[in-house]
Amino acid sequence: MRAVYEVRDLAVDVPLGRGLMDGMLRASARLNILDGITLSVGGGETLGIVGESGSGKTTLARAMMGLMPVASGRLTFEGRDLTTSADFSALRRRSALMFQDATASLSPRMKIGTALIEPFAIHGLRVSDRRAKAGDLLEKIGLPRAFSERYPHELSGGQARRVCVARALALNPALVLADEPTAGLDVSVQGEILNLLAALKTDLGIAFIVISHNLAMVRHVTDRIAILYLGRLVETGPTRDVFARPAHPYTASLIASEPQPDPRKRRETLAIEGEVPSMLSRPSGCEFHTRCPRAEALCRRDRPALREVAPGRIARCHFAEDQLATRENTHGLEN
């Protein structure tokens, strides 16, 4: 599958401000948020990005869209190197970012129809009949044409989310980044939005990158999954394989922390314990060792490399192969 978007060894830093030392103005200190991020997504594929709050998921999406400066690494969109040209105009013409707060991403002073046509004006594309085009986009995502005359405050959460989907699809993008596309929605509305995105992916061949805490949703809609911890990629692989046999203890802990629909099935212990360390003071060695149930002296001393641990599976753990073998034996016994 040809990659629509490729990320290679991406690093993102943010400034911490200036300070005085011995009466001399020193250079701005910088905090490293992301480092060594390598992933790709192909046409008609959905990649899920998962991690706890503060793991760098949204920062990654914003950096990929050129909304944050990149410290190092390479970004390639449809074969074009974005990091050398620093020109994201072609990317923004052929891609879209759906923000987490759908209502807040819509201008309260702009009617829905105007908001849907705005991408054409930004990119200098002529539309013969703007009202008809807005109506077509609304019908495509299951809303009446009359909604083009409404303002954002007149929409429900699900309707606002659908409008954001319509605006993202306005320019027939090759890639859509969806940040928490079902956040704050009722379960029934979540299902409608997910079914809509799945149908659009099938019909239009769009590549989707979905950022979410909702593991059940990620399991349902994605083809591959990438796990972030403290701004580091700790595991990637096919979604079905990762959920069946996680190679990293952090991934296994996230999966085990999924809520159980049966109230009689209560956990005696937490699936993942301890506090997330501060990025200002990262742990030595493996950054997950302070919370890992199987950490050893090697983990506290040496940082593991991101490597292939099985066909199509990449993980950052000294004992990833042992983790896979243990899961495989357990899975075999359960069957």
Query: How confident is the model over 64-93, as pLDDT tens digits?
Result: 998 888 999 999 999 888 887 667 888 888
Lowest mean pLDDT among 93-102, 147-156, 231-240: 93-102
Residue 224 belongs to some domain of the structure: yes
| Rounded Cα distance, 18 and 168, in Å | 39
pLDDT, average across residues 98-126 = 90
Q: In this predicted structure, what is the pLDDT of residue 326?
A: 76
Largest Cα span, the chain: 69
Residue 110 belongs to some domain of the structure: no
Q: In this predicted structure, what is the pLDDT of residue 154?
A: 94
HSE-CB of 77 using CA atoms within 13 angstroms: 24
Residue 274 belongs to some domain of the structure: yes
Residue 114 belongs to some domain of the structure: no
pLDDT at residue 39 is higher than 50: yes
Residue 324 belongs to some domain of the structure: yes
pLDDT, average across residues 51-71 = 90
Cβ burial, residue 51 (10 Å; 0-12/13-18/19+): buried
Nearest to 226 by CA among 86, 40, 91, 32: 40
Q: 245: pLDDT confidence band, cut at 50, 70 and 90?
A: very high
Which CATH number belongs to the domain containing residue 304 in this structure?
Answer: 3.40.50.300
Q: In this predicted structure, what is the pLDDT of residue 23?
A: 43
pLDDT, average across residues 137-147 = 90
Residue 218 belongs to some domain of the structure: yes
Question: What's the domain count of the chain?
Answer: 1
Residue 256 belongs to some domain of the structure: yes
Calculate helix-pair angle for 157-169, 130-140, nearest 10 degrees.
120
Q: 22: pLDDT confidence band, cut at 50, 70 and 90?
A: very low
Q: 20: pLDDT confidence band, cut at 50, 70 and 90?
A: very low
Residue 108 belongs to some domain of the structure: no
Find tokens 């049966």 and name the residue: 262
| DSSP per position, 27-83 | PPEEEEEEEEEEEEEETT-EEEEE--TTSSHHHHHHHHTTSS--SEEEEEETTEEHH
Q: In this predicted structure, what is the pLDDT of residue 86?
A: 65
Range of the structural domain that residue 222 is part of? 3-16+29-94+173-334
Residue 20 β-bridge partners: 25
Q: What sign has the CA pseudo-torsion 241, 61, 44, 156?
A: positive
| Rounded Cα distance, 92 and 157, in Å | 26
| Rounded Cα distance, 276 and 253, in Å | 13
